[in-house]
Amino acid sequence: MRLILLGPPGAGKGTQAQRLEAAHGLAQLSTGDMLRAAIAADTEVGRRAKDIMARGELVSDDVVVGIIADRIGEADCANGFILDGFPRTVAQAEALDAMLAARDIALDAVVEMKVDEEALVDRVTGRYTCAQCGAGYHDRNIKPARDGVCDRCAGTEFSRREDDNEASVRTRLEAYNGQTAPLLPYYAARGVLKGVDGMADPDAVTTEIAAVLGVGLSG
């Protein structure tokens, strides 16, 4: 299965992509995570992306298209993948179409996670992840069962993204509305667009995604 999760920052793409990865053995391909890894490793790409990302603007199409082109050829993508945060512009979507056509593979679905914009600033500014395994949490909405201890790996170190502040979120929302939202008619015209209610609680969203994809919740 080859999927795209589409939605503004804070829509829950990362959370649902992690669940799809665990349930169906699909590789989660998050360009945001890859760029953050490049920044941490102080690579050429990371140095170019750092300030742009901190402001909440989009990194150039060439950079992210190059990253994804390399990544989808790797062995763990053979069983399928979930694109989380890519494509974000029509030019990226066109580049993806060409990449998939060259490999003779097709997209199965593009899932739009629909959310109210007013909720997003709260969602994004409250979120944090386990520094060890990357499990996602939120100050108010998704707390670990034991305070300060990761449910998944029992890690006790957590981190917040540098760009999860209000000014950057507002810029990211503008980027979404101006540059990414045109992908909705792009994929609707290709008959692959499905919508789910991203305002529901995370388990209900997982159930709805499985339903629109016509798959079970696991396996």
One residue of 7, 12, 56, 155 binding ligand AMP per CB under 6 A: 56
Q: Which residue, 134 or 202, has its beta carbon nearer to ligand AMP? A: 134
One residue of 31, 93, 111, 194 binding ligand AMP per CB under 6 A: 31
Closest C-alpha to 200, from 189, 191, 212: 212
Closest C-alpha to 124, from 17, 35, 7, 46: 7
Does residue 127 touch ligand AMP according to CB under 6 A?
no
DSSP label at residue 75: G
One residue of 19, 88, 127, 194 binding ligand AMP per CB under 6 A: 88
Q: Which stretch binds ligand AMP (CB under 6 A): 55-63, 71-79, 136-144, 202-210?
A: 55-63
Does residue 193 touch ligand AMP according to CB under 6 A?
no
- Residue at token pair 């989380």: 84
Tokens (6 digits) for 129: 């992840």
Q: Please work out the total of residues on this chain that contact ligand AMP, with binding judged by CB under 6 A.
A: 18
Query: Quick one: CA dihedral 143, 148, 149, 152, positive or negative?
Result: positive
Does residue 155 touch ligand AMP according to CB under 6 A?
no
Closest C-alpha to 170, from 114, 120, 116: 120
One residue of 7, 9, 12, 198 binding ligand AMP per CB under 6 A: 9
Beta pairing class for 158-159 and 109-114: unpaired
Output the smallest distance, CB 64 to ligand AMP, in A: 4
**How many CB atoms neighbour CB 4 within 10 A?**
25
The catalytic residue positions are 13, 88, 127, 161, 172
